[in-house]
Amino acid sequence: MKFEPQQYRIPDVSMQPFIDEEEIHDILRQAIPEKERVKAIIAKSLDKQRLSLEETAVLLNATDPEMIGWIRQGARQLKERVYGKRIVLFAPLYVGNYCSNNCRYCGFKASNKSAIRKTLNTDELIANVKALEEHGQKRLILVFGEHRTYSAEFIAETVKLVYSVKKDHGEIRRVNINAAPFDIEGFKTIGESGIGTYQIFQETYHRPTYKICHPSGKKADYDYRLTALDRAMEGGIDDVGIGALFGLYDWRFEVLALLRHVNHLEACYNVGPHTISFPRIQDALDYDLDDQYQVSDEEFTRLVAILRLAVPYTGLILTAREPEHIRREVLAYGCSQIDAGTKLEIGAYAENPEVDQNLTKEQFKINDDRTLNQVIDELIENDYIPSFCTACYRKGRTGQHFMEFSVPGFIKKFCTPNALFTLAEYIIDYATPETAAKGWRLVDQSIDEIEDESYRNKVRDRVERIKNGERDLYF
Ligand code: SAM
Ligand code: SF4
């Protein structure tokens, strides 16, 4: 059967499942990576156009090293041309690891009797948020197991509490969430607490694999999870993040399914996801899957480059699951956000900051355990501008990533100066002397590069105000 581009067998109806496995397999089977076609598809992406599933499948099927080189180079070019040098930083904060599901890859699964279970109480939560603020974090993602304890009301109260915690110049300016799916009412409650992005990963879009990986608990319901973000949208949360856990099933299938999810949200709600995550399976306590679909480093970095080209205006999130050298490479392909200073052990930011990972208290193993300052230092060394900017979210400029990409001059006018303001705050309040020296050089040089003189002076003036003690300045 031959497909017309973007004609789906399952139509995009809100709240209805939209993944047709056979369709995705057919698209993959029919995509032939001829050189001229591959070049044309990359050129289309560099022209800032979204790729269709068929076009993306052509890139996914390319195995010729020369073509793979073009794909990687294309992603690098797109990043340089469009996004510039900013990398947004955040930290995950695990609030509780009680869970009634049995995801076979996860250390928090209910059947794992060696897991040490805990939910942060109010004092512990405050202590952890303060500890994060003391390092300079401004953006958090709160992570929860799936358990009746973590109701929508509990999550909403937790969010409000996190926003209320201040330490010296420290404050959390954006709280994102990664938690179980809710009904529309639940999403309303959570949305009203002022969250940034609601993130939920389908893990695998392949139904038979999903069934194997999620044998019991509420998460065993594939469709309820697949339609979670439809309910979030209906409940008023229009800033959402999707993701697939790479290593459960064929990575090519998952990339196309992620795009299918993007298309579904755009078709039904006129807004795509703010971010896509692509966690790769890591070791965990009681890990219970074979490695048939393991994704190699080469495949992983390639799939990120392909995702970048396929959805040029969607944020890509890379986490500390990946080791330093992979993070470095993948950053060049246009990831927009990374975590840093990450600790997964519940309560560890306040209690055990120096202690190594203990998998009885953690969901999985991470491979980049550098401090926030170390990561910032390396970013600056590599000519990136670390950013804690939260301006768009607080100014109500929704669809931020889309605007960055599509509104001419948006990055120059808003994103770069705002990144510099948050970097200046970080340098003054938290950086080591060596990082501070490098940081100021970068700030000064970046200001000098602003072409418009009056704008350049405005930015310089604000940095001076920050040096004089003002905080939280943004355009
Ligand atoms: N309980 C919530 C849920 O399942 O949606 C929160 C999810 S969990 C705390 C965040 C994500 O971590 C999961 O969605 C999954 O993709 C990922 N994850 C779980 N086990 C993992 C492992 N062994 N290696 C890497 N990522 C893992
Ligand atoms: Fe529970 Fe989430 Fe882990 Fe599944 S991935 S066992 S739902 S914490």
Nearest ligand 2 atom to the CA of 106 is 3
Output the CA 154–ligand 1 centroid distance in Å: 20
The pLDDT score that the predictor gives to residue 363 is 80
Nearest ligand 2 atom to the CA of 145 is 8
The residue nearest atom 20 of ligand 1, judged by CA position, is 106
The pLDDT score that the predictor gives to residue 361 is 77
Output the CA 118–ligand 1 centroid distance in Å: 17
Nearest ligand 2 atom to the CA of 214 is 4
The pLDDT score that the predictor gives to residue 3 is 55
151 burial type by CB count under 10 A (0-12 exposed, 13-18 middle, 19+ buried): middle
Output the CA 319–ligand 2 centroid distance in Å: 17
CB 438 within 8 A of CB 373: no
CB 26 within 8 A of CB 260: no
The residue nearest atom 6 of ligand 2, judged by CA position, is 109
With H, G, I as helix, E, B as strand and everything else as coil, classify residue 175. strand
Output the CA 179–ligand 2 centroid distance in Å: 9
pLDDT tens figures, 201-247: 999 999 999 999 999 999 999 999 999 999 999 999 999 999 999 99
Run of H or E residues at 256:
helix 251-269
pLDDT tens figures, 81-99: 887 899 999 999 999 999 9
Nearest ligand 2 atom to the CA of 99 is 1
Output the CA 243–ligand 2 centroid distance in Å: 14
Taking 3-state DSSP, the helix, strand and coil percentages for the chain, each rounded to the nearest 5, stand at 50, 10, 40
The pLDDT score that the predictor gives to residue 290 is 87
The pLDDT score that the predictor gives to residue 436 is 98
Burial track 280-291 (b if 16+ CB lie within 10 A, e otherwise): bbbebbbbebee
Spans of the chain below 50 pLDDT: 1
The residue nearest atom 14 of ligand 1, judged by CA position, is 201
Output the CA 415–ligand 2 centroid distance in Å: 35
Output the CA 55–ligand 1 centroid distance in Å: 30
Output the CA 16–ligand 1 centroid distance in Å: 24
Ligand nearest the Cα atom of residue 202: 1
DSSP for 382-393 reads TT-EEE---HHH
The pLDDT score that the predictor gives to residue 423 is 98
Ligand 1-lining residues (CB < 6 angstroms): 105-106, 143, 145-146, 178-180, 200-201, 203, 245, 279, 281-282, 284, 321, 363-364
Q: Which of 365, 64, 63, 21 is nearest to 357 (CA)?
A: 365
The pLDDT score that the predictor gives to residue 375 is 98
The pLDDT score that the predictor gives to residue 202 is 98
Residue with structure tokens 């300045």? 473
The pLDDT score that the predictor gives to residue 136 is 98
Ligand 2-lining residues (CB < 6 angstroms): 99, 101, 103, 106, 108-109, 145-146, 219
Q: In angstroms, rounded to a whole number, what is the distance separating the alpha carbons of residues 201 and 187?
A: 16
Nearest ligand 1 atom to the CA of 219 is 4
> How are beta strands 240-243 and 198-199 bridged, if at all?
parallel
Indicate the Cα dihedral angle 230, 232, 236, 242, nearest 10°: -90
